[in-house]
């Protein structure tokens, strides 16, 4: 039987810390969450591989470094109200639950949402609200999120999500480009102004919905 705790600790040191993840809160959260619990049984032996893995519905669980990079770019202190777009397996939501006060996560595939809900419940996570719907438009009736994490690539920053970002808030979103390589991008709201910073090339499934493709 695989020693998942040892594999997880090695992942934190070799895949994350050695490759530029410096936020100790993020490293601790990544070291605490059992990634194997969020994978179909047939893929659990590869839970800490440096790669994305299939989770059904033509979706994937992101490689650990991408999850950590998104969390680090959000600059979370622990008090934030956070919106996550694309729950997927629920792994990122679980990591974010250790870094923010409240996580609202939206998934468009109901089977994935139900599976994620079950795993999060089994782990005792009680600060994640999981919804089924079009995450590309966020939650227009509940604006003012301190942070937004988008786990699918959009052609441009979804305007509905930008509008729901609180002053001083950060959104991390993969943006598509002409050469077919997505770019992980952080947007920061300063009053009415939105500042943008490209972080790194990446590869995500497309953001499907009114605010995406």
- What average pLDDT does this structure show over 37-50? 96
Neighbours of 151 (CB within 10 A): 28
213 assigned to some structural domain: no
Domain count for the chain: 1
Taking only the tens place, the pLDDT of each residue in 159-173 is 999 999 999 999 999
Q: Are strands 145-150 and 165-175 parallel, antiparallel or unpaired?
A: parallel
Is 136 among the residues known to form the active site?
A: no
- What average pLDDT does this structure show over 166-192? 90
Q: Is the pTM for the entire model greater than 0.85?
A: yes
Q: Is 52 exposed, middle or buried (0-12, 13-18, 19+ CB in 10 A)?
A: middle
30 assigned to some structural domain: yes
Range of the domain at 26: 4-202
Taking only the tens place, the pLDDT of each residue in 51-91 is 999 999 999 999 999 999 999 999 999 999 999 999 999 99
190 assigned to some structural domain: yes
49 assigned to some structural domain: yes
210 assigned to some structural domain: no
| Catalytic residue (choose from 51, 62, 177, 200) | 62
Query: Which DSSP letter does residue 206 get?
Result: B
**The pLDDT of residue 213:** 84
Instruction: Decide: 123 and 95 in contact? Cβ < 8 Å.
Output: no
207 assigned to some structural domain: no
What are the distances in angstroms from CA 154 to CA 112, 172, 194, 205, 210? 20, 11, 17, 9, 11
Distance of alpha carbon 79 from alpha carbon 74, whole angstroms: 12
13 assigned to some structural domain: yes
208 assigned to some structural domain: no
Output the domain CATH number for residue 101.
3.40.50.150
Distance of alpha carbon 95 from alpha carbon 109, whole angstroms: 20
């Amino acid at each position: 039987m695989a020693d998942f705790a040892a594999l997880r600790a090695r992942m934190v040191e070799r895949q994350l810390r050695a490759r530029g993840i410096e936020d100790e809160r993020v490293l601790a959260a990544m070291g605490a969450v059992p990634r194997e619990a969020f994978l179909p049984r047939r893929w659990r032996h590869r839970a800490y591989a440096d790669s994305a893995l299939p989770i059904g519905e033509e979706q994937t669980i992101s490689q650990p470094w991408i999850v950590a990079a998104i969390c680090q770019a959000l600059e979370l202190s622990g008090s934030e109200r956070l919106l996550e777009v694309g729950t997927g397996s629920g792994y990122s939501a679980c990591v974010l639950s250790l870094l923010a006060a409240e996580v609202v996560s939206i998934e468009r595939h109901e089977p994935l949402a139900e599976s994620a809900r079950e795993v999060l419940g089994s782990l005792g996570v009680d600060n994640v609200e999981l919804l089924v719907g079009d995450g590309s438009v966020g939650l227009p009736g509940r604006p003012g999120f301190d942070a937004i994490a988008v786990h699918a690539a959009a052609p441009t920053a979804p305007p509905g999500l930008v509008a729901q970002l609180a002053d001083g808030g950060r959104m991390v979103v993969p943006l598509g480009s002409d050469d077919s390589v997505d770019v992980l991008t952080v947007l920061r709201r300063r009053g009415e102004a939105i500042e943008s910073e490209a972080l790194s090339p990446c590869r995500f499934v497309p953001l499907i919905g009114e605010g995406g493709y």
